Amino acid sequence: MKSIKTVFICFLLNVVSLSQTNTPPGTDSGKGSLSFDLQKLELNKSLQLKTYNISDLEFDPLQTRVNHSLLYGMGALYLGAGIGVHIYQRNAWWKDDRTSFHFQNDWPYALWSDKVGHFYAATILVHAFSAGFEAANFQTEDAMLYGTIAALSFQYYVEIEDGFGAQWGFSPGDAISNTLGAGYALAQYYFPYLQNFQFKYSYYPSKKMRDGTHKGNVIDDYEGQKHWLSFRMKNLLPGDLGDIWPAFLNLAVGMGVKDLDGLGNGRREIFIAFDFNVLELPLTGKIGNFVKNSLNYIHLPMPGLRISPDSAFFVFLF
C-alpha cells in the first residue's frame, strides 16, 4: 500500500514538473492546461526532480491519522464507566422483581421532568462520546455521527434493561426523548444556528434528599433538579441591541417540580434567569475547548425569578 501511495504522489509531482518544462515562455496556457506558475506558487525548485522519497515529505495525504492507541484507551474508559453505571443501576433498580420484557408508558411521570431529563442526558452523552472520537483524531463530522450512535446505543440498552423490571418496563416516552435529545445534539453540528439554544441542567438537593426521606437517588431526585434552555442573546438580538449586549451573559428559561406524590400529582415551576456563557472563557486548545463545551451544559447559579405558579426573586438561582 505504501508503494502505491508513493507512486501516486510522485506522479502528481512529476506532472507539476513537466508542466513547467513543456510550456514555452510567454505562452498563455488557458484554463484547461496543466501549466503552473512555479514562482507565483512559491514552490521549491526541488519539485523538478523526477524521483521522490515519500519519507522526505512533511505529510502523507493518504495516510489514516486516527490515533488508535488513544482510541483504544478512550474505549476502555467508556467501557469502564458503562460497567460502573450498570452496576449502580442494577443495584438501585434492576436486580429485584425481574420479569418478562414488557412496555410501560409513563408520559406524566414526574410532571415531564423525567422526559426532559432523558432529552438532556442524550445531549450530554453525544458530547462525551464525540469528544472521545475527536481526541483520537476522527474528523469532526465522523466523531459526531459515531458519538450519536454510541449515545443512543447506551440509552436504549438502559431502556431494554428497564423493560425487564416489574415496576418499570420499556418506556416509549423515554425512548422518544432519548432520540430527540441525541438528534438535537447532532443537529447543532449541521445547523450551527441551533448552538444559540443550549439545554442546561442545575441541581440542588431537595428537602427530602437533605432530610434523608427520599427513597431514591440523585438521578430521580426530580425536586432538586432544574432543566434550562439558554438563549445566546448576543447573537439573537437584532442590530444595535446585539452589539451592546455582553457576550458572556445569556438568558435562560427553566423548569422544576415540587411536591411530587409518585402518582403524577405535584407542582410545576417555571423560572427565568441570567446564564453565564462559559464559551467566552479565555481557554484555548483541545483541552480548553473541551472544558468550555462541557461546562456549557451546566447552568451556574445566577440571579433569577420564579414566574409560575407564583413569583419570587432569587439572588442565586440553582
The string of pLDDT tens digits covering residues 192-203 is 999 999 999 999
Confidence of residue 42 (pLDDT cuts 50, 70, 90): very low
Q: Is the dihedral of CA 187, 193, 194, 199 positive or negative?
A: positive
93 vs 89, 220, 318, CA distance in Å?
6, 11, 28
Asked if residue 135 lies in contact with residue 286, where contact means CB atoms within 8 angstroms, the answer is: yes
**Residue 6: what pLDDT?**
44
CA distances from 185 to 37, 227, 279 (A): 46, 16, 17
pTM of the model: 0.78
Banded model confidence at residue 261, pLDDT cuts 50, 70, 90? confident
The beta strand positions in the chain, using DSSP E, are: 197-203, 225-231, 249-258, 267-276, 302-308, 312-317
Average pLDDT along the chain: 83
Is 286's pLDDT higher than 60?
A: yes
Alpha helices (runs of H) in 163-259, residue ranges in sequence order:
172-190, 207-211, 233-236, 239-244
- Which residue from 200, 195, 152, 198 is spatially nearest to 176, judged by alpha carbons? 152
- Please name every residue paired with 250 in a beta bridge, in sequence order, or none if there are none: 275
pLDDT in tens, 51-71: 334 334 344 444 458 999 999
Give the pLDDT of residue 315: 97
Which of 48-57, 110-119, 122-131 is least confident? 48-57
Which tens digits make up the pLDDT trace of 66-83? 999 999 999 999 999 989
211 versus 44: the higher-pLDDT residue is 211
**Whole-angstrom distance, CA of residue 123 vs CA of residue 294:** 11
